[in-house]
Structure 1
Amino acid sequence: MDTQLQNEGVLYVVGTPIGNLGDMSTRAIEILMEVDYIAAEDTRHTQKLLNHFSINTPMTSYHEHNEQTKGQQLLQKLQMGQSIALVSDAGLPGISDPGEVLVRLATEHAITVLTIPGPNAAVTALVSSGLPTQPFLFVGFLPRHKKDRKIELQNWKLSPATLIFYEAPHRIVAMLSDLCEVVGNRRVAISRELTKVHETWVRGRLDDCLHTIKENGVRGEYTIVVEGASKEEIAANSGERSTWWESLSLIQHVDTYIAQGNDKKSAIQAAAKDRAIPKREVYNHYHQS
């Protein structure tokens, strides 16, 4: 039994396999057995994992559609001294899933949060990509609509860091097409079904990889690793970084920063700085819309 379980009101962020069940850690199994509840993104999916390791701990659902109401319920349990393990469908919770919201809620209320490290698709793909591993920038899933997706890609176009994206099979072709159009025909490493029996890789230039994926068909979840902007590219477009927002309305400008993970106050400050206008002007315009 983990000694931390003797503490009251602990939220455990538990990493689970991204495909191969052999990657489940001994400590993760012990924690899932000992906590009072398991909060799972998809209880049906997690039940298969629990059955495999003979774990009988009560489980409750926690996902993007109930994160507000269920988050408060879980917080109450933690405040009453109960321990909860947070798991996602695969990998480390909090990365491209609603676990981030529960962790923030717990820390805001002085609840102890402990992470049980485990597999992560982004880092797994990065170290296998053959592209520079430092620095890297995890972007995750891009917006679903083409216009929004291109705006988001413009934000990272001139970053020198290796970029990491996630994408679903039904959007991978459109996403790679937009990626090539916005950042250029860079080197990429695209993985599918990491750690599973049918793990596959496509490496090379974006246009060649896109052609290969179209030929072979799309299936499974994808992780895309893209080389960062070169010094020459950054120098040639040195004025572009400060004007990416010119085609956006003031509201869209603020919303873009919010979509990147900034809170509303920080987003308003950033937009005001970009446009060299008073923060109050941005605030009033945003809240009057």
Structure 2
Amino acid sequence: MSIVNASIPFHKNEPITLLLLGGGIRYPALVGALRAVEEKGLRIGKIVGSSAGSIVGALFASGMSPEDLRREAMALDSARFKDISLKSMFSGYGLCSGDALEAWVDGKLGGRSFSGDFRIPIQVIATDILNYRAVVFSAASHPELKVATAARFSNGIPWIYACRRHRHNGKDHVFVDGSLMAGSVEESFGRHERVLILKVVSKRTLRHQDGKLSLARYFRETLNFSLHAMEKEFIKGGRWKDTILLYCADIEPARFSLTNEEKEYLLAQGYEQTMKFLNYKWGI
């Protein structure tokens, strides 16, 4: 059994694998959670991320502190990534190309590839919709691939960001959001590997009926339903017991911007929920 509690001693010098799953616009919750992990003095041996978790994880692995990430989050206007493109709609089945997002991440990472200089090894999960499987990008499997490119693969939110086509070792792939199949990656962990999973979820709220259904509302509501359903995907087997669900109240995943108050709320939620879990479940 992988769960650790106060009756089972936990040694802080024992490395853990940290999974950062999902997030989207609610990524500040992951930043707050990382602050708690750092304050507890946990030794991270590897970071695995999907969707926004792949970006937050890569920036942290590159050397940014939780405080650096907090400042980035507070200063960032996510609307800059809303690069709507007709070409993307027809060729990639998404409103936005995602080029702006990839360029921003690549700039923050200094163009690093997986074989680059990271203080913590980073891996990125993407869903290969063409071959129906999760792909984990790492220094071992794709040493020359830019981490920003893999993160863009992993952030291919259906209908929002265009899917990305990629050819590797003579095989074609089409990548979309890594969170779609993140629950299938457990087999990549060692049997005795200690894993801590941070997963962002929002409350499903019932809205008052107003009798009006515009095309924009139809798109937004069906997308929210789809993203909420995606969040029900859990790591298989006993690993779910080491999963911290970072609840984000009713902040919808299908948004492109947050107020400063919402960012502060998410930062606090991620921090407080992670601290509580580590105190009571892991006894540290």
Considering only CA atoms, is the larger Rg found in Structure 1 or Structure 2? Answer: 1
| TM-score, length basis structure 2 | 0.24
| TM-score, length basis structure 1 | 0.23
